[in-house]
């Protein structure tokens, strides 16, 4: 009797497929079998690309004469630590009684690559192969994925993209790491007083290092500028309100060189002179204008992985890598949909069934009332017509949302994992609520020729904000970016009642000293957002939503890249604040790359490579076209470095970098990771 073989990425996922198929499974070593089907798994990658010495034993020794290394055909090998499972899977794939293979690895480029390598190494032929593409591990979704499984050949472009991504990372890593190590490694070691330094280079990793080092140097070079603002303190029915002076047209200081900006002086004495000119308080201030308007703040878009990692870094001070681990656990326990997504919207198909997700959340005490209110009032019925549903903004998976299932598994979650789940749930429920509404008033008063400006704001309708009051927060966070005086409704009504020409008593004036601020350091969350937006740290959520295009790395790899840079000791991560800073070694590596293959530090270029992979997956360009450009890039950059003779100049850069650190590296000490390779040849500086 012919059987179907289901191959998942992990044993836990394989078990979920067996349950969803209602199979009477008998367990064996590395797989399970029933009369009608077999279920097995890959335990992640079983096959990897071979090192250069597999092509030619002489390539084990690093030498400039063997670069660039660009094989005509790539070799692959089974990973020794998982060879037993590979043999199991390979035998099952080729069993005579297996006529249909259901590929159930993770629904993305990496999951596709994991299976294709196994199939390639196993020499599978003459089988019907189906691709199961799901967005959660609920029983209904697994059954739908199997029922609607397409021929594996329909994912060939995605597979080509996956192979190219691996080849690109491999070729850049092998060639540029060897090239820069041989050319500059000894010079770095001499400067750092270490035995030997390997310069680790990566397509995405090196670009991210560059972003952090550039930001750190901007902070160092920043010179703070003090400035002095003049404030007026007005009395209104026994209540004091403030206004800020600005040198607008008509002011005695309009366009004056004494100003830092229109609202501040460069020197305190000039601010004091202004106060003297205004007169001895109390003085009369006249209302010259009053503007009233209502402002709406819509619920934010749904979570993709980058947005969630950023919020978890801010709220819980956990790294992107830890956030990914937690949300992967939530996914495997059926609590949320597929986490490695770049989309922040839902598909129209999901929108039609969204009541099921909401209905399930009625079982969670903290949010049950919201779920009940949404369903009873039909607040979800028109979601397909909102900005939260857009098929054009979805590639592989829609946004991350709760499934409305899996609540039995919540008992096994840690405190932080429960908080992460709550964040996802509340963000999801919030999109069905109306916007929060604020009343804003802008008041302008005048003393003599000088004008003072006051802005007031109060929340008049909570809207979705009542859903996003998290249980783990001790106090409600302030609305970010406010420069308004928060007042109660009564006070706001008193201000709103003022008429043009009305007079208020200025009880006093004061000087408020400030200073310009340097750029912010990246933290682990904002770094993920900057990677998503090709090197731009775009904090405004609405603006981020409008920007389209490939970022640096993918949602599945960004956290791992940061982790590797910290592991290499190129970057330091403050676990308490999640702030990211370069180490001295990291800055030296940056200087080496900047002086040799500067384009590796360019976020836009790195993003363009990622976009090229997307074009291959879409069938817009051929793998051959992409590979030709890649090989040209590696060949031209390698030859360029071989012609360089800049070791002396680089030593000056190293010394400049070291000058910013409190303690210079001492003999026998190192600020970075070093590796000894006794049989390698290398240059000196």
Same domain, 551 and 570: yes
Do 14 and 131 lie in one domain? The reply is yes
The pLDDT score that the predictor gives to residue 669 is: 37
Residue 1 has a pLDDT of 75
Same domain, 542 and 510: no
- The pLDDT tens digits of the residues spanning 289-333 come to 999 999 999 999 999 999 999 999 999 999 999 999 999 999 999
pLDDT band at 549 (very low <50, low <70, confident <90, very high): low
- 577 pLDDT higher than 50: yes
Q: What is the predicted pLDDT for the residue at 239?
A: 86
Q: Report yes or no on 303 lying in a domain.
A: no
Contacts with 238 (C-beta within 8 Å, 6 or more apart), sequence order: none
Beta-carbon contacts of residue 508 (< 8 Å; ≥ 6 apart): 233, 281, 282
Please report whether residue 88 resides in a domain: yes
289's tokens: 């204008």
pLDDT tens profile 404-443: 998 988 999 999 999 999 999 999 999 999 999 999 999 9
Statement: residue 685 has pLDDT above 50:
no
**CATH code for the domain in which residue 22 is found:** 3.40.50.140
Model confidence at 665: pLDDT above 50: no
Write the pLDDT tens digit of every residue in 442-469.
999 999 999 999 999 999 999 999 999 8
Interstrand relation of 485-486 and 450-461 (parallel, antiparallel or unpaired): parallel
Q: Which residues contact 465 (CB under 8 A, 6 or more apart)?
A: 436, 459
How far from the centroid of its chain's Cα atoms is residue 503's Cα?
Answer: 52
Domain identity same for 449 and 533: no
Largest CA distance in the chain: 101
Count of all residues that appear for the chain in the document? 685
Do 369 and 233 share a structural domain? no
Q: Which of 441, 399, 172 is nearest to 292 (CA)?
A: 441
pLDDT at 192 over 50: yes
d(CA 39, CA 7): 6
* Tokens matching residue 446: 């005048």
Regarding whether 527 and 636 lie in a shared domain, the answer is yes
For residue 120, give its domain range: 3-148
Identify whether residues 509 and 529 lie together within a single domain. Answer: no
- Residue 670 in any domain: the answer is no
Q: Which of 481, 515, 549 is the last residue of a domain?
A: 515
Note the pLDDT of residue 656.
Answer: 80
Encoding tokens for residue 276?
């003297």
- Mean pLDDT over 600-622 rounds to 90
Phi, psi of 394 (to 5 degrees): -115, 130
Segment 155-186, tens digit of pLDDT: 999 999 999 999 999 999 999 999 999 999 99
Last residue of a domain, one of 498, 515, 532: 515
Residue 449 and residue 423 in one domain: no
Which has the closest alpha carbon to 587: 682, 534, 659? 659
Confidence of residue 550 (pLDDT cuts 50, 70, 90): low
* Residue 514 confidence (pLDDT) above 70: yes
Residue of 606, 594, 462 lying closest to 169 (CA atoms): 606
216, with CB counted inside 10 A (0-12, 13-18, 19+), is buried
Long-range Cβ contacts of 597-601 (<8 Å, 24+ apart): 597/176, 597/180, 597/201, 597/637, 597/640, 597/641, 599/637, 600/172, 600/176, 600/201, 600/203, 600/206, 600/207, 600/210, 601/206, 601/207, 601/209, 601/210
Q: How many CB atoms lie within 10 A of CB 171?
A: 22
pLDDT of res. 664: 42
Residues 6 or more apart whose Cβ sits within 8 Å of residue 189: 195, 196, 197, 674
Give a yes or no: residue 210 inside a domain: yes
95 and 143 within one domain: yes
Q: Which residues contact 490 (CB under 8 A, 6 or more apart)?
A: none
User: Using one digit for the tens of pLDDT, what is the confidence trace for 69-117?
Assistant: 999 999 999 999 999 999 999 999 999 999 999 999 999 899 999 999 9
Stretch 597-603: mean pLDDT, rounded?
92
Round to whole Å and give the CA distance between 59 and 598: 26
Tell me, what's the pLDDT at 677? Answer: 35
Q: What is the pLDDT of residues 263-295, one digit of tens each?
A: 999 999 999 999 999 999 999 999 999 999 999
Q: Which of 92-101, 495-504, 657-666 has the lowest mean pLDDT?
A: 657-666
Taking 80 as the threshold, does the pLDDT of residue 614 lie above it?
yes
Backbone dihedral angles phi then psi of residue 581, each to the nearest 5 degrees: -135, 155
CATH number at residue 335: 1.10.290.10
Domain boundary among 148, 172, 193: 148
Domains held by the chain: number: 4
* Residue 484: how many other CB atoms lie within 10 Å: 16
For the entire predicted model, the pTM comes to 0.86
pLDDT band at 540 (very low <50, low <70, confident <90, very high): low
Q: Half-sphere exposure of 274 toward its Cβ, with a 13 Å CA cutoff?
A: 34
Please report the pLDDT score of residue 329 as a whole number: 95
C-alpha 570/C-alpha 673 separation (Å) is 8
Kindly state whether residue 309 falls inside one of the protein's structural domains. no
Of 332, 330, 396, which Cα lies nearest the Cα of 161?
396
Condensed to tens digits (0 to 9), the pLDDT of residues 245-260 reads: 999 999 999 999 999 9
Q: What is the pLDDT of residue 142?
A: 95
Cis preceding linkage at 653, omega within 30: no
As a whole number, the mean pLDDT across the chain is 90
327 in any annotated domain: yes
Within 10 angstroms of residue 597's Cβ, the number of other Cβ atoms is 23
Nearest to 51 by CA among 177, 145, 161: 177
- Of 667 and 528, the structure prediction assigns the larger pLDDT to 528
Residue 35: phi, psi to the nearest 5? -60, -30
């Amino acid at each position: 009797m012919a059987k179907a073989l289901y191959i998942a990425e992990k044993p836990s996922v394989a078990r979920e497929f067996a349950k969803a198929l209602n199979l009477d499974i008998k367990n064996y070593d590395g797989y399970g079998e029933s009369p009608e089907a077999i279920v097995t798994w890959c335990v992640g990658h079983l096959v990897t690309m071979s090192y250069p010495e597999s092509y030619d034993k002489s390539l084990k020794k690093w030498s400039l004469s063997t670069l660039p290394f660009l094989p005509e055909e790539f070799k692959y090998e089974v990973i020794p630590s998982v060879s037993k499972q590979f043999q199991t899977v390979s035998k099952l794939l080729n069993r005579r009684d297996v006529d249909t293979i259901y590929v159930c690895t993770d629904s993305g480029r990496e999951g596709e690559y994991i299976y294709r390598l196994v199939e390639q190494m196993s020499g599978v032929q003459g089988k019907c192969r189906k691709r199961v593409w799901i967005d959660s591990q609920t029983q209904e979704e697994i059954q739908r994925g199997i029922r609607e499984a397409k021929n594996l050949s329909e994912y060939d472009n995605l597979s080509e993209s996956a192979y190219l991504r691996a080849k690109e990372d491999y070729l850049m890593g092998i060639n540029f790491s060897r090239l820069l190590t041989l050319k500059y490694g000894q010079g770095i070691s001499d400067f750092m007083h270490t035995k030997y330094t390997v310069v680790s280079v990566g397509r995405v990793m090196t670009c991210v290092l560059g972003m952090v080092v550039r930001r750190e140097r901007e902070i160092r070079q920043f010179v703070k500028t003090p400035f002095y603002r003049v404030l007026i303190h007005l009395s209104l029915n026994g209540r004091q309100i403030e206004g800020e002076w600005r040198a607008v047209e008509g002011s005695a200081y309009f366009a004056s060189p004494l100003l830092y900006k229109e609202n501040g002086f460069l020197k305190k004495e000039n601010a004091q002179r202004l106060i003297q000119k205004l007169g001895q308080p109390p003085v009369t201030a006249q209302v010259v204008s009053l503007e009233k308007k209502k402002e709406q703040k819509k619920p934010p878009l749904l979570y993709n992985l980058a947005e969630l990692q950023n919020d978890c870094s801010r709220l819980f001070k956990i790294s992107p890598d830890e956030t990914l681990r937690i949300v992967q656990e939530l996914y495997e326990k059926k609590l949320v949909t597929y986490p490695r997504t770049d989309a922040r919207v839902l598909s129209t198909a999901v929108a039609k069934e969204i009541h099921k997700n909401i209905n399930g959340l009625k079982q969670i005490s903290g949010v049950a009332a919201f779920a009940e209110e949404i369903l009873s009032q039909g607040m979800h019925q028109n979601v397909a017509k909102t900005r939260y549903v857009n098929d054009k903004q979805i590639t592989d998976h829609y946004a991350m949302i709760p499934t409305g299932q899996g609540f039995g598994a919540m008992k096994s979650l840690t405190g932080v994992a429960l908080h992460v789940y709550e964040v996802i749930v509340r963000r999801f429920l919030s999109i069905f609520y109306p916007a929060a509404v604020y009343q804003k008033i802008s008041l302008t008063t005048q003393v003599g020729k000088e004008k003072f400006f006051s802005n007031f704001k109060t929340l008049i309708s909570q809207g979705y904000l009542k859903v996003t009051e998290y249980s783990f927060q001790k106090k409600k966070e302030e609305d970010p970016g406010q420069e308004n005086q928060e007042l109660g409704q009564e006070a706001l009504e008193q201000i709103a009642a003022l008429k043009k020409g009305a007079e208020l008593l200025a009880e006093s004036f004061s000087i408020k000293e400030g200073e310009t601020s340097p750029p912010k350091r990246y933290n682990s969350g904002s770094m993920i957002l900057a990677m998503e937006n090709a090197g731009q740290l775009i904090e405004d959520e609405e603006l981020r939503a409008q920007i389209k295009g490939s970022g640096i790395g993918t949602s599945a790899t960004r956290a791992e890249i940061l982790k590797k840079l910290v592991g290499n000791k190129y970057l330091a991560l403050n676990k308490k604040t999640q702030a990211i800073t370069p180490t001295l070694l990291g800055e030296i590596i940056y200087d080496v790359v900047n002086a040799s293959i500067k384009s590796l530090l360019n976020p836009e270029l790195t993003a363009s490579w990622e976009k090229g992979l997307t074009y291959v997956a879409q069938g817009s360009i051929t793998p051959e076209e992409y590979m030709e450009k890649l090989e040209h890039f590696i060949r031209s950059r390698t030859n360029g470095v071989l012609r360089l003779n800049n070791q002396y100049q680089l030593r000056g850069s190293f010394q400049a970098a070291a000058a910013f650190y409190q303690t210079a590296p001492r003999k026998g000490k190192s600020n970075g990771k070093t590796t000894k390779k006794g049989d390698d040849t290398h240059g000196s500086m």
